Homo-oligomer: A and B are copies of this chain.
């Protein structure tokens, strides 16, 4: 069995495991579980972890150039080893989005907008969970999920009131992730708008429109017909 076939086989199971992890993790953190429910949630989380670990090890053993694969997939290793990076398992969901999009076949700009909206929403949700998980029980101001969500929104938009902020190292690491996500969010929104405005401004004045391949093709047809006329002479 080669690596590509394994990856194709595991694409959907891993995406589903990521969803299962998201649900169990949300339930565990929001519900602040104890007793049997805590055991159930923990079991699901450990099971998804086992699946990711197996996937990592099989990929490593099947890779044609094992050392190169290891070197270029250090993030995957970190996600499997460090419990703190557990939420990054959700990166697997990017695969689902890709599948959804391949079906829809919309324009690139529309695709970018959907990705960004989806990724931002997921980032806000997961950051709220992770920050609450890190901060609860400490001196920090974030003590329930509503506060976590509000804090994540205030941070990703780079507003930063300062009414809530993390005080533990783990919480601050989550915050740095959300801030970088915020810079990326502003960047993608602006870039998509810029691409749209540049296009619209170009389209407004027909003569000042940027020359496209279609225009050049028209010209080439013109020259070719000239050539054929010459041949007929």
Contacts and interface: CB of A to CB of B under 8 A. Distances in A.
A201 B186 CA distance: 19
A160 B189 CA distance: 20
Contact of A189 (B183, B209, B229, B233): B183
B201 A199 contact: yes
Interface in A151-172: 153-155, 157-163, 165, 169, 172
A213 B208 contact: yes
B172 A150 contact: yes
A211 B212 contact: yes
Contact of A169 (B146, B190, B204, B222): B146
Majority SS of interface residues in chain A?
A: helix
A206 interface: yes
Number of copies: 4
A219 interface: yes
Contact of A207 (B176, B200, B208, B214): B214
A196 interface: yes
A184 B172 CA distance: 23
Interface of A: 107-109, 112, 146, 150, 153-155, 157-163, 165, 169, 172, 175-176, 179-180, 182-201, 204, 206-220, 222-227, 229-231, 233
26 contacts: A108-B204, A112-B197, A146-B169, A153-B176, A153-B179, A154-B175, A157-B158, A161-B161, A162-B162, A162-B163, A186-B186, A188-B193, A190-B193, A190-B194, A191-B191, A194-B198, A207-B217, A209-B212, A211-B213, A211-B215, A212-B213, A213-B215, A216-B218, A219-B220, A222-B223, A227-B229
